[in-house]
Amino acid sequence: AIAAYNSGPGRVQKAIRKNKRLGKKADFWHLDLPAETRGYVPRLLAVAELIKHPERYGQTITPVDNKPQLQVVTLDSQFDLDTIAQWADISLDDVYTLNPGLKRWATPSNPPYVILLPIDKAKIFERNLNSHPKNTRVRWLRHKVTSGESLSFLAHKFKTTLSQIKSINNMSSNLIKVGDYLIVPLAQRAENDYALSENEREKRRLNSKKIGVKIIHTVAKGDNLWKVAKQYNVKIKSLVKWNHLVHDKPLSIGKKLVIWQTKATKNKDLSKITSVGIDINRKVTYRVKSGDNLSTIARKFKVRVRDLKLWNQLDSAKPLQIGQKLKIIVNVVNSKMK
């Protein structure tokens, strides 16, 4: 049933019928299922075992009172998630964690929209909601369309959606012309501050799946996607995916591009490349010592506190335990090739 939830009942039934036809066992462990499903079920069983017997694995699970912990709050307009965090007196990461449906830096533009907040924080948020003017909930920018810009380009640039820009500006088509003025929402903080947004989660997912060597290419005059892809023997669509680029947007001189080294890339002569840095990432396990906290550990390994929390599913309110094991992805080399 759990496997069917992940990959679909039809996929599981097909695998069962195939095994029975071949005279093989038809339990989960012997079925030919997608890799994601083969990992999903054991992980879920492991979590259940950990919760059932935390002491066996050196874990302490804080008891949770059998009463409501969260409150539904209805928003009647669009909100920057950073504003929600500030008004509720919680971290931006907590806003994303409590509301996994939020994929960008702001709530959808078509209210009403409901969010979950801790009960005590919901009261703080509602007090701030009533004491602040509506125009402080999200920032807006009046943007003048310039040559080469399209709606999809602007949606990518301002980290919003094409449909949202059309809705805000009462547009029925995707056509825009040079000189048009469009109202677009503007995030209050830098993109990487919204660490759990869809784009940032995708970047982390890609980075975590490619532990090893990555090449940082600095865009030079005359560079374009085709030229860079050819230089490193990679596909243009891979460059676009790794760096969240838009196909029709020119590369900016000085922009840093991530290029994951493959076997094909390793065969190229990188000694001729002057504007390349090398990152070698390694996954290490650190055991918490007396006096350690997230800040001291982050400084020691030159990583961010929010990354430590993300890698280890940590709760800011729960202190680290001596002997607790933490997973840390560290950069062991960061140098220039000569």
Summarised one tens digit per residue, pLDDT across range 140-192 is 788 898 888 888 888 887 777 787 788 778 888 888 889 889 888 777 666 55
Cβ count near 199 (within 10 Å): 16
Closest to 104 in 3D by CA, of 40, 184, 206, 176: 184
- CATH of the domain spanning 210-273, picked from 3.30.565.10, 1.10.260.40, 3.10.350.10, 3.30.70.1230: 3.10.350.10
Structure tokens at 81: 């998630």
**Which of 140-149, 209-218, 241-250, 324-333 shows the lowest mean pLDDT across its residues?**
209-218
Residues of the chain with CATH 3.10.350.10: 65-191, 210-273, 279-336
Tell me if 98 sits within 8 A of 117, measured CB to CB: yes
Tell me if 291 sits within 8 A of 241, measured CB to CB: no
The pTM score is 0.44
Whole-angstrom distance, CA of residue 147 vs CA of residue 302: 42
Most confident option among 136-145, 180-189, 204-213, 269-278? 136-145
State yes or no: pLDDT of 125 exceeds 90.
Answer: yes
Closest to 34 in 3D by CA, of 58, 5, 68, 66: 5
User: Reduced to 3 states, what is the DSSP secondary structure of residue 73?
Assistant: strand
Most confident option among 198-202, 242-246, 255-259, 315-319? 255-259
**What was the pLDDT predicted at 22?**
93
Helices (H), the chain: 2-7, 9-21, 35-52, 81-88, 92-98, 119-131, 151-157, 162-168, 198-209, 225-232, 236-243, 263-266, 294-301, 305-312
Whole-angstrom distance, CA of residue 257 vs CA of residue 206: 14
**What was the pLDDT predicted at 77?**
87
Summarised one tens digit per residue, pLDDT across range 50-97 is 999 999 888 888 888 889 999 999 998 888 888 899 899 988 888 888
- Sign of the dihedral through C-alpha 15, 18, 20, 24: negative
State yes or no: pLDDT of 283 exceeds 60.
Answer: yes
Summarised one tens digit per residue, pLDDT across range 128-140 is 998 888 878 777 7
Secondary structure of 271-295 in HEC code, one letter for each residue = HHCCCEEEEEEEEEEEECCCCCCHH
Instruction: Look up residue 72 and give its DSSP letter.
Output: E
- As assigned by CATH, the class of the 279-336 domain is alpha beta
Which CATH superfamily hosts domain 65-191? Answer: LysM domain (3.10.350.10)
pLDDT band, very low/low/confident/very high, at 270 (cuts 50, 70, 90): very low
